[in-house]
Amino acid sequence: AQKITQTQPGMFVQEKEAVTLDCTYDTSDQSYGLFWYKQPSSGEMIFLIYQGSYDEQNATEGRYSLNFQKARKSANLVISASQLGDSAMYFCAMRRPRGGYNKLIFGAGTRLAVHP
Amino acid sequence: DADVTQTPRNRITKTGKRIMLECSQTKGHDRMYWYRQDPGLGLRLIYYSFDVKDINKGEISDGYSVSRQAQAKFSLSLESAIPNQTALYFCATSAAGTESTEAFFGQGTRLTVV
């Protein structure tokens, strides 16, 4: 079965420091995509970063980078230079194209608190 | 205006009542999804539709039904609401594509069943 695991229910970090949010996934597919979404207290889902299973380079988007270790089936999100506005829930998700159904499955999320 | 719009944003309803959550999108996407978010469980897929004639059950479809009235509209119904359906509900859309296709979410509907 396809599954996303986020083992950290909550994390905290000091402002301006870096933080890593863990994500492991389970799939037998060769082709898949991995996403991170941010959910602030207002509730909306904000797309942060994407990594394809065939991408050789780790994805980066501004202060966000994805530490992709395919053999370990992990796709950790690294936030550099944390800001107070980074306090939110963060969800890791995987999309599998098998059978043409591009369903997106999510982990349970990690709540990040950035302290001043 | 938001690309994916959900109505209502908040709703309190009584046990046993029928309720409909509506979703409309202006992104022109074929694929639409309904998710439910519960604390500690993340987002779970209720139903998904790849076009007007295609409706599929997700992992937690029991107690729910959907209607795809048009490419841009996808409604979720709770025929007889129960308290454990209290949750945050999201509609999402995506283009037909590959594993890299991003999903776009509505603002969410917070439903409370009392």
**H or E element, residue A51:** strand A46-52
My answer on whether omega of the bond before B8 falls inside 30° of 0, hence cis, is yes
For chains A and B, CB pairs below 8 A equal: 72
C-alpha torsion angle, residues B85, B75, B102, B51 (rounded to 10): 130
Task: Judge contact between B42 and A107, C-beta under 8 A.
Answer: yes
Distance CA A29, CA A44 (A): 30
| Residues whose CB falls within 8 Å of the CB of residue A23, separated by 6 or more in sequence, listed in order | A4, A5, A6, A34, A36, A74, A75, A76, A77, A92, A107
What's the pLDDT at B39? 85
* Whether B56 and A101 lie within 8 Å, measured CB to CB: yes
What single-letter DSSP state applies at residue A70? T
Nearest to A102 among B42, B101, B105 (CB): B101
The yes-or-no verdict on residue A97 having pLDDT over 70 is no
Are A67 and A75 spatial neighbours (Cβ–Cβ below 8 Å)?
A: yes
Nearest residue in A to B39, CA atom = A108
Secondary structure of residue A86 in the 3-state scheme? helix
Residue A103's pLDDT is what?
A: 78
pLDDT tens for residues B63-75? 999 999 999 999 9
For the cut 70, the answer to whether the pLDDT of residue A101 exceeds it is no
Nearest to B99 among A4, A9, A96 (CB): A96
User: In the predicted model, is pLDDT for residue A76 greater than 60?
Assistant: yes
On chain B, the residues whose CB falls within 8 A of the CB of A36 are none
Report which of residues A82 and B97 the model is more confident about: A82
What is the pLDDT at residue B100? 67
Q: Which residues of A touch B101 (CB under 8 A)?
A: 33, 95, 102
Residues B63 and B79: their CA atoms lie apart, in Å, by 7
Instruction: State what percent of residues in chain B have pLDDT above 70.
Output: 96
What is the mean pLDDT of the segment spanning A73-80? 97
Q: Please name the residue of chain A whose CA is at the shortest distance from the CA of residue B95.
A: A102
| Contact predicate A104/A92, CB 8 Å | no
Check: CB of residue B49 under 8 Å from CB of residue B66: yes
Nearest to B52 by CA among B29, B69, B35: B69
Confidence check: pLDDT of A91 > 60:
yes
Pick B101's closest partner by Cβ from A31, A45, A95: A95
Confidence of residue B1 (pLDDT cuts 50, 70, 90): low
The rounded mean pLDDT for chain A is 92
Please tell me the predicted confidence (pLDDT) of residue A102.
66
Contact call for residues A25 and A4 (beta carbons, < 8 A): yes
Confidence class for position A28, pLDDT limits 50, 70, 90: confident
Q: Is the pLDDT of residue B56 over 80?
A: yes
What pLDDT does A30 receive? 86
Task: Give the pLDDT score at B98.
Answer: 66
3-state secondary structure of B85: helix
Question: Is the per-residue pLDDT at B43 higher than 80?
Answer: yes
The answer to whether B43 contacts A91, with C-beta atoms less than 8 Å apart, is yes
Cβ atoms B2, B107 nearer than 8 A: yes
